[in-house]
Structure 1
Amino acid sequence: MKKFIILFIAAFYFIGSNAQEKQPNVLVFYIDDLRAELGCYGSETAITPNIDKIANDGVMFNKAYVQQAICAPSRMSMLTGLRPETLGIYSIFTPLREVHKDIVSLPQLFHKNGYKTISIGKVYHHGSDDKNVWSTYFEKEPNSYLKPENIMLMKRLKEEGVKQLNGPAFENADVADEGYKDGRAAKYAIETLRKLKDDKFLMFVGLSKPHLPYNAPKKYWDLYDKNDFKIPSRKKPEDVYRLALSPWGELKAYSNIPKEGDLNDDLTRDLIHGYHASISYIDNQIGKVMATLDELDLRKNTMIIFVSDHGYKIGEYASWCKQSNMEIDVRVPLIISRETDYKKRVTGKTSDALVESVDMYSTLVDICKLESAPISDGKSILPVLDNPTKKWDDAAYSVYARGKNIMGVTTTDGEWRYTEWRNSTTHEILGAELYEHKNSLLSYENVSGNLVYSKVEKRMKKLLEVQFPRDGTPFLQNDIPRNK
């Protein structure tokens, strides 16, 4: 009898050990152009109950940063675990596989480890990258307009031979969620989950909103009163390098946006309204997908990652969109909610640890116990997920190139942001910026060179040179010219 009890206990622990070794499913909600304008992050305006629920079930990171505030390099960095300066790609014009044939991406690595891999919507910026690697691939769809007057406008522009076919910057057609593409992306995700419920999977659901144009069903616009939105200060940071902010040509390309000057208050409120409506629109799509996980009993063994490809400006600094090294552009929302089937997870916590999107590669390797993983520029943040108050990295780093000859390199320690604009070949410093962000996402005074902050600047300069040494090594440049 005693021998039987011992064997039973041994078997119990063996089964428990195996359960702990079980590889979880991974579902990534990859959002386009979303800053931390969410209820869970303290937004006073955004209505996001479904995303807030994910935060309540996981760990929300207050200081998560992307490696570059523009779509293509940022997404490549997360999907390969390599920084833009390692890849040598800094623009939206160069597909990853045009210059890097052998780098092992997340979908490739998961596939090698027996996972089904699914890409829905915008995952890579370039749909051609790894298109044939995914087990299931839904093409990202182009933007569409549904109001008759906008359909006619787009038809006319096409007939006139306009190359950049951009209609109005926003639309609010009275249609069902599936009328616009993110509703269809959620539908594809739900259908695919039903088919793969018995398989081990990595699924990326790439939602395009709140990227321009802010096209969302009318019911999401109706959640907000346009007049409730405050006009952001149009004050610009003082004494900044001439290329610190972009001229926001991305927004000016839309048909109802003036090509010169600041936007008036009425149009500004329309755009902020559209940005918020788009956020609530994707929030509801996320809620549908999460409800399906619960319905299929998949939530217990599925890890959820909610992340954006970069931050965004909606009028702050008299600027719009992203494309800078400012805090508001490189900081992103990041929420990770672990699977719950075999032991209690840390939930409903926030972390001030400095983490980077490039860390997601190593983190998934660690959590999913993936074999044959290549060396990554990031590192696993699993210890922070288990202990959100754990002391972590001293700094996070980003870059932004201005053409081939000028590279902006930046770092934050969580309270200060220091940026240098350098000659891409010689590392000669062309301009420097030091901003305080202890209590605010925005900072209007560049105190670089101010003797009062000389000790802070010296310390931040040392932090920057850890990642970007001025050793005379030119920045790797693999971008293909735009006209190729």
Structure 2
Amino acid sequence: MKNYLALIALVFCISNVFSQSEKPNILVFYIDDLRAELGCYGSETAITPNIDKLASEGIMFNKAYTQQAICAPSRMSTLTGLRPETLGIYSIFTPLRKVHKDVVTLPQLFKQNGYKTISTGKVYHHFVDDKESWTELVKRPSNIYLKPESLEAMAGKRTKGPAYEDADVADDGYKDGIVANDAIRMLNQYKDDKFLMFVGLMKPHLPFNAPKKYWDLHDKSKFEIPLKEKPQDMYRLALSKWGELKNYHGIPKEDPLNDDITRTLIHGYHACVSYMDAQVGKVLQTLEDLDLRKNTMIIFMSDHGYKIGEYGAWCKHSNMEIDTRVPLIISREGNYKKRNAGELSNALVENVDIFSTLTEICGFETPKSDGKSLVPVLDNPDAKWDEVATSVFARGKNIMGCTATDGNWRYTEWRDSNSHEILGAELYEHKNNLLSFINLSGNEAYKDVEERMKALLESQFPRNGVPFPQNDNPRK
């Protein structure tokens, strides 16, 4: 009998070891302020060979959306699987653990299940948020200025420094190169462990600081000036004009910005995208060199989009398509990598879905989540999927913007946060463009479309008078 029990125990242990060995490593590239405009997404101006190659090895999602177009709430949502309206956090000023002590996060769950969890660069908006959930919380580099004129402009002044810089330095002269080096160091350190690693690359977020060679990839004169007009009949609080750009040294106060500075900033944004792409390539090459790619699932994603002069704005901070739509590429490990390599999916998916997707793939019991696993879409990119994707954006404590897209149309209601009284509505068409310039809400010719989109919105945001939860104090 003892021998029989010992045999059962041995089989159980072997089974557990085998099961653990079958679970993939997870590597997530989490990018800041990256629009759904890359070479693989059809951009004629982005130069992104490494991301394009990754897309050719996985599934590229053409209709992926964030839950709020601002850093902290968006990232919290991804890392908890809970929407901002569940967490009640809508601003960048409140860390997750300040108000939610018991919510189970993605790194926390993976760490509890034997994974090494590693954070490099910007993952949460607040660096030390959820720090106990990380095996390694690698120090995040700050903004770096190198040119004498930049340092002179900042000397003895309370300023963020210039909005852009192009010093002729190696990649690790600026901070994303440092993050890539940290990620490579962590891969070497944990190559024999199961790991969940987030590589939080911070470009193309302001300031647009990148080594000169990435600026030299692009011809400034070929960038077109975007239309600076605001959408006709939009709700008065639908857009934020400037975001943080106005706080940088040397930015004129005129509104909109003149064409020369506009073109320079667009150039800087693209240089930073190419710089970030090169860092992605270095980390991916290290995976190959360490023979880790065969058992590593890779996710490439952004926290939200960004306006580089469109609508005359320089920020995210809205419910607009260009701010809520994001790039998302998922490349599985092993044989999965070959199965759907280079596929394009038009399924409506959301960043909040990443949590449930990873927990299902790794066989963990998933805590309560507002998202749903994308495994069926990973198995079949053409699978019939959700009818709607939603986002929110708060304007102070009293006004909540709720928005819904079906992939072609975007409908937004601006509501009283307590009573759900509708203060304004917007309907925009986005069949072929990230931008739309006419609010069609109330237009009789689009009545059927608006009624359908309104029903989709209210299926997710019922007007039942229950106030939106407020666990922080969002600014207007």
Is 2:74 aligned against 1:70? no
CA displacement at 1:156 relative to structure 2: 2.1
Q: Match for residue 214 of structure 2?
A: 220
| Runs of 5+ unmatched residues, structure 2 | 1-10
**Could you tell me which amino acid in structure 2 is paired with residue 316 of structure 1?**
E
Contact 1:19/1:342 (8 A) holds in 2 = no
Q: Assess, with a 3 A threshold, how the Cα gap between structure 1 residues 21 and 116 changes in structure 2: closer, same or farther.
A: closer
Q: Match for residue 192 of structure 1?
A: 186
Q: Match for residue 102 of structure 1?
A: 102
Q: Assess, with a 3 A threshold, how the Cα gap between structure 1 residues 152 and 358 changes in structure 2: closer, same or farther.
A: same
Q: Match for residue 146 of structure 1?
A: 146
In structure 1, the residue corresponding to 2:133 is in which secondary structure? coil
Distance between the aligned counterparts of 1:217 and 1:342, measured in 2?
36
Q: Assess, with a 3 A threshold, how the Cα gap between structure 1 residues 369 and 201 changes in structure 2: closer, same or farther.
A: same
**For 1:277-426, what aligned pairs fall within 5 Å after superposition?**
277-341=271-335, 344-371=338-365, 373-426=366-419
Q: Match for residue 4 of structure 1?
A: none
CA displacement at 1:155 relative to structure 2: 2.4
Distance between the aligned counterparts of 2:459 and 2:191, measured in 1?
45
Aligned length: 462
**Could you tell me which amino acid in structure 1 is paired with residue 369 of structure 2?**
S
In structure 2, the residue corresponding to 1:321 is in which secondary structure? coil
Q: Match for residue 47 of structure 2?
A: 47
**Could you tell me which amino acid in structure 1 is paired with residue 274 of structure 2?**
S
RMSD: 1.7
Contact 1:363/1:381 (8 A) holds in 2 = yes
In structure 2, the residue corresponding to 1:409 is in which secondary structure? strand
Alignment TM-score, normalising by the size of structure 2:
0.95
In structure 2, the residue corresponding to 1:30 is in which secondary structure? strand
Contact 2:347/2:385 (8 A) holds in 1 = yes
Contact 1:301/1:341 (8 A) holds in 2 = no
Distance between the aligned counterparts of 2:386 and 2:368, measured in 1?
19
Contact 1:338/1:345 (8 A) holds in 2 = no
Q: Assess, with a 3 A threshold, how the Cα gap between structure 1 residues 221 and 166 changes in structure 2: closer, same or farther.
A: same
Runs of 4+ with >6 A deviation: none
Match of 1:449 among 423, 442, 451: 442
Distance between the aligned counterparts of 1:68 and 1:402, measured in 2?
12
Q: Assess, with a 3 A threshold, how the Cα gap between structure 1 residues 407 and 342 changes in structure 2: closer, same or farther.
A: closer
CA displacement at 1:312 relative to structure 2: 0.7
**For 1:450-469, what aligned pairs fall within 5 Å after superposition?**
450-469=443-462
Match of 2:268 among 265, 274, 291: 274
Q: Assess, with a 3 A threshold, how the Cα gap between structure 1 residues 53 and 481 changes in structure 2: closer, same or farther.
A: closer
Alignment TM-score, normalising by the size of structure 1:
0.93
Q: Assess, with a 3 A threshold, how the Cα gap between structure 1 residues 171 and 231 changes in structure 2: closer, same or farther.
A: same
In structure 2, the residue corresponding to 1:283 is in which secondary structure? helix
In structure 2, the residue corresponding to 1:314 is in which secondary structure? coil
Contact 1:238/1:444 (8 A) holds in 2 = yes
**Could you tell me which amino acid in structure 1 is paired with residue 211 of structure 2?**
P
In structure 2, the residue corresponding to 1:313 is in which secondary structure? coil
Between stretches 40-49 and 253-262, larger displacement belongs to 253-262
| Runs of 5+ unmatched residues, structure 1 | 1-10
- Deviation per residue, 1:82-131 (Å, 9 max, x gap): 00000000000001011000101011000011000000010000012112
Between stretches 436-445 and 409-418, larger displacement belongs to 436-445
Percent identical residues = 71
CA displacement at 1:457 relative to structure 2: 0.5
